[in-house]
Structure 1
Amino acid sequence: MKCHWCGSDHAQEARRTGYWELPDGSRAVEIKEIPSVSCRDCGIEYQEDTMIEKIEDQLMLIDTKKLSSPVTYDDLMAVPRLLKKNYFKL
């Protein structure tokens, strides 16, 4: 796997914790075990753009008032959606 930051071929898949502000701005949630990238050469850990989109779409489409924190990525993605897709995305 290639690191998008330093270009190293020593990046690898990892599961990391991240923090997201809810779409309504009421609070932030801790999300554990997010599929991420970890580079042993430059030390950066990040989520790819597609993963960020998945998380943000899910947070837009669920009832976040019932969401506990912390929550695992898999549990977050398993929360039933109120809408089928994010109609607010351009």
Structure 2
Amino acid sequence: MKCLWCESEKAEQTGLTGYWELPDGSRAVEITVIPSVSCSSCGMEYQEDHIVDEIEDQLMLIDTKKIDSTISYNDLMSIPRFLKKNYFKI
């Protein structure tokens, strides 16, 4: 896998923890085992844009009051949505 930052071929898929502020701004949640990229050449760890978009869309389209302070990526993505997609995204 190629690192988006340093373009090294030493990047690897991994699962990392991240923190997201809820769309209503009421609090942040810890999301574990997020599909991520880790590069041993430059030390950068990041989530690709499509994963970030998936998380942000999911948080926009679910009842976030039912989420604990920590949730795994897979559990978050399996929560039923109010709408099928984010119609407000431009």
TM-score computed with the length of structure 1 as normaliser? 0.98
Q: Aligned equivalents of 2:87 and 2:27: distance in 1?
A: 23
1:23-76 alpha-carbon deviations (Å, 9 max, x no partner): 000000000000000000000100000000000000000000111121000000
Q: Aligned equivalents of 1:83 and 1:62: distance in 2?
A: 8
Displaced runs of 4 or more, over 3 A: none
Secondary structure at the aligned position of 2:84 is classed as coil
**Structure 1 regions of 5+ residues with no counterpart?**
none
One-letter amino acid matched to 1:65: K
In the alignment, what sits opposite 2:60? 60
1:79-90 aligned at under 5 Å gives the runs 79-90=79-90
The alpha-carbon deviation at position 4 of structure 1 amounts to 0.3
One-letter amino acid matched to 1:53: D
CA RMSD of aligned residues (A): 0.4
1:67-78 aligned at under 5 Å gives the runs 67-78=67-78
**Structure 2 regions of 5+ residues with no counterpart?**
none
Q: Aligned equivalents of 1:72 and 1:88: distance in 2?
A: 25
Count of equivalent residues: 90
Aligned sequence identity (%):
68
Q: Aligned equivalents of 2:57 and 2:73: distance in 1?
A: 13
